[in-house]
């Protein structure tokens, strides 16, 4: 029972903290969700909801983006995600690579966070492209492997490999939750960790 006090500087910490990270959520729209073949779609939805809930509970900035809603080609972010994220501003665009959209790009940089927890559909395109660009600009990027998906398992895994080879740090929901919490002595947020791990099956509901 000898945790350091005071804790490490949460803004300068090498690991993810609520004070140094932001969550990016790209293209969780009906067409994209329905085209995922790398994991069961109901599990994908459960997992992205768990990630979004973690961001809300730990008070991370969230950048939400869609593609082709204003053009009428596509529909808005799926309702369950919007329910969790509440009034989070959404940046619609036409570019496949969200990093090439001015409003999205500026919103990311306005957070002042250099660690980006990245989620998107599809892994091989709308996740990979902004991840690669963000890495080139000096950001640290953490794709959440069990909350993203591709048009096939091969496409998903190949996209992950490409990002990892470029320097992305792959992370799971369980790892993300534990990294944000870090210490059970942080009583205010400990229930959020338990809720997240129960939601994804890491903890049993007993």
Report residue 86: phi and psi, to 5°: 65, -125
- CA atoms in the 13 A half-sphere facing the CB of 25: 30
- The model scores a pTM over 0.85: yes
- CA atoms in the 13 A half-sphere facing the CB of 121: 26
Distance CA 95, CA 91 (A): 11
**Class of the domain covering 21-176:** alpha beta
Query: Would you please indicate which residues are annotated as catalytic (active-site) residues?
Result: 126
Per-residue pLDDT of the chain (206 residues; tens, 9 = 90+): 577 777 789 999 999 999 999 999 999 999 999 999 999 999 999 999 999 999 999 999 999 999 999 999 999 999 999 999 999 999 999 999 999 999 999 999 999 999 999 999 999 999 999 999 999 999 999 999 999 999 999 999 999 999 999 999 999 999 999 999 999 999 999 999 988 888 877 776 64
């Amino acid at each position: 029972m000898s945790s350091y006090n005071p804790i490490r500087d949460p803004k300068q910490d090498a690991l993810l903290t609520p004070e140094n990270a932001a969550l990016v959520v790209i293209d969780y729209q009906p067409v994209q969700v329905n085209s995922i073949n790398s994991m069961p779609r109901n599990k994908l939805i459960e997992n992205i909801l768990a990630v979004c809930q973690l961001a809300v509970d730990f008070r991370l900035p969230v950048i939400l983006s869609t593609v082709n809603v204003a053009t009428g080609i596509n529909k808005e972010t799926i309702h369950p995600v919007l329910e969790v994220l509440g009034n989070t501003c959404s940046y619609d665009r036409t570019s496949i690579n969200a990093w090439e959209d001015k409003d999205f790009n500026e919103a990311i940089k306005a957070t002042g966070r250099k660690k980006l927890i990245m989620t998107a559909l599809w892994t091989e395109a709308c996740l990979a492209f902004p991840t690669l660009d963000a890495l080139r600009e000096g950001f640290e990027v953490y794709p959440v492997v069990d909350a993203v998906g591709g048009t096939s398992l091969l496409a998903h895994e190949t996209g992950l490999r490409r990002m990892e080879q470029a320097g992305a740090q792959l992370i799971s929901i369980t790892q993300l939750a534990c990294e944000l919490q870090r210490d059970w002595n942080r009583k205010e947020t400990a229930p959020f960790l338990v809720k997240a791990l129960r939601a994804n099956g890491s903890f049993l509901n007993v």
